[in-house]
Amino acid sequence: EITVRGSTAYTTTWGNPSGVGSAVYIWDVTGDAPTLVDSVLVDNARTLGDVAVSDDGAYLFVATEQVGALAIYSLADPRKPVLVTRYTSAEILPGVHTAEIARVNGKLYGFLAIDPGVSPAKLVIVDLGNPGSPQPVFSQFIGTPYVHDTFVRDGILFLGLWNAGVAIWDIGGGGKGGTPAAPVELGRLQTANGEVHNIW
């Protein structure tokens, strides 16, 4: 996965030995071709999923699979991320596949699509108001067999539920009283061939 802010891009890696870990690569993208400037090793992570930067540019968020964590880094120096915390809990095992980071009514939240593993897939919403101490505010089993992607715009949460289609929830902007801790479903669309993967 990739995210870009200003002249810096961050990419993640996939399918590495768990004992080695996976890297986030940091690139200078000012020229015609990206230049690798540094990397950050995420220990004991076979696969890194989404990578995202907060809207204020202060933090980098990296989803990790197999070990089930959301790694959070300070971007005081955008080219030298410093680990703030590696949030994990029973709620996000066996791994975070995708992680949308968005602000709702002034507060930062993470919208985490959790791998099904030995149990059904799950959506977990985490309060990131204090990035050093994430707090889960919502959890629900959803998706068939995955909740594969999430996207937030103007207080509306869109869920890519693979073969269960697309769900649209009010989390603060849909006029139905929803919040990140208590979403209200606005509608659902069943796609013809399933496999709803990404939403933008």
Tens-place pLDDT, residues 6-18 = 999 999 998 888 7
Instruction: Select from 177, 172, 146 the least CA-distant residue to 160.
Output: 146
**Over the range 79-95, which residues count as b (16 or more CB within 10 Å of their CB) and which as e?**
eebeebebbbeeebbeb
| 122-126: long-range pairs with CB below 8 Å, 24+ | 122/91, 122/147, 123/147, 123/150, 123/159, 124/91, 124/92, 125/171, 125/180, 125/181, 125/183, 126/70, 126/87
Highest mean pLDDT among 68-72, 82-86, 94-98: 82-86
pLDDT for 127 equals 98
Between CA 7 and CA 25 the distance in angstroms is: 14
pLDDT given for residue 66 in this prediction: 79
pLDDT band at 142 (very low <50, low <70, confident <90, very high): very high
Which pLDDT does position 10 carry in this prediction?
98
Type of residue numbered 127? D
Distances (CA, A) of 178 to 70, 104, 123, 185: 25, 11, 16, 8
Query: How much is the average pLDDT of 82-93?
Result: 93
Task: Pick 146 or 181 by higher pLDDT.
Answer: 181
Helix (H, G, I), strand (E, B) or coil at 50: strand
Contact 77, 91 (CB under 8 A): no
pLDDT on residue 17: 80
pLDDT of amino acid 29: 98
Tokens of 177: 């009283």
User: Per-residue confidence at 20, pLDDT binned at 50, 70, 90?
Assistant: confident
10 Å CB burial of residue 99 (0-12, 13-18, 19+) is buried
pLDDT for 21: 84
